[in-house]
Amino acid sequence: MFIGVFLFLILMQKKDCFFLGKIVKKYSFKGELLIKLDTDEPELYEQLESVFIELKNNLVPFFIESSQLHKSELLRVKFEEVDTEQDADSLLKCGIYLPLEFLPKLEDDKFYFHEIIGFKVEDINHGNVGVIKSVNDSTAQSLFEIDRNGIEILIPMNDEFIEKIDKQNKTIYVKTPEGLIDLYLEDD
């Protein structure tokens, strides 16, 4: 059993995980660290036994000795075998990941960004828009990045635009403002 779990941990790839947060600073001289969690529900992740830390583009399992929430969105963590400031320094600014199975289940009208990659987008007025290739969440408002035969179309992920999410048929129905999609297709 232990060998199977160990092999599972070693073979974990980033595509099989979700980003939980980033190690932002040291907390004590005993190797404790603060992780800024990228979640609306930090309390769900307070009692973790282990996480994956991205080191040199590899996910490395680290076991947690103790953890507790610190100032709402920060998680104060003591990893096993990270006992000094130098040990902690080597982990600063590293990303923290968990397997996708750890994500809480969502209602049918909600989704995680990774779930909708490959979904078709249908506009109520415009018809087939294309296929979601990624989600850009680095802007003020997250955007669907849609591929339409080599043309990139960006649609804001606004609740007012999203009419229906059909997970079974992998389709998102939207009602975009008049002219938005046409902006991208003028030369088409």
119 and 44 inside one domain: no
* Spatial distance between the Cα atoms of 143 and 175, rounded to a whole number of angstroms: 14
Output the pLDDT for position 7: 45
131, 151: one domain: yes
Q: Which of 101, 127, 159 is the last residue of a domain?
A: 101
pLDDT at 5: 45
Please tell me whether residues 64 and 94 are part of one structural domain: yes
Residue range(s) defining the domain that contains residue 71 = 2-101
Residues 141 and 166 in one domain: yes
Which pTM was predicted? 0.65
User: Does 23 score more than 90 pLDDT?
Assistant: yes
Q: Measured between alpha carbons, how far is 165 from 157 in angstroms, rounded to an integer?
A: 12
Is the pLDDT at 132 greater than 90, yes or no?
A: yes
Q: Please report the pLDDT score of residue 3 as a whole number.
A: 42
The reported pLDDT for the residue numbered 39 is 83
What's the number of domains the chain is made of? 2
108 has pLDDT over 90: no
**CATH number of the domain within which 88 lies:** 2.40.30.60
Q: Is residue 106 part of a domain?
A: no
Looking at 101, 126, 141, the residue that finishes a domain is 101
Q: One-letter amino acid identity for 55?
A: L
Q: In the predicted model, what is the mean pLDDT of residues 93-102? A: 91
- 96 and 117 share a domain? no
Same-domain status, 145 and 179? yes
Where does a domain end: 77, 101, 125? 101
- Residues 38, 32: contact at Cβ < 8 Å? no
Q: Is the pLDDT of residue 57 over 80?
A: yes
CB burial of 45-84 (b: ≥16 within 10 Å; e: otherwise) equals beebeebbbbeeeebbebebeebeeeeeebbbbbbeebee
Regarding whether 120 and 95 lie in a shared domain, the answer is: no
Mean pLDDT over residues 104-115, rounded? Answer: 77
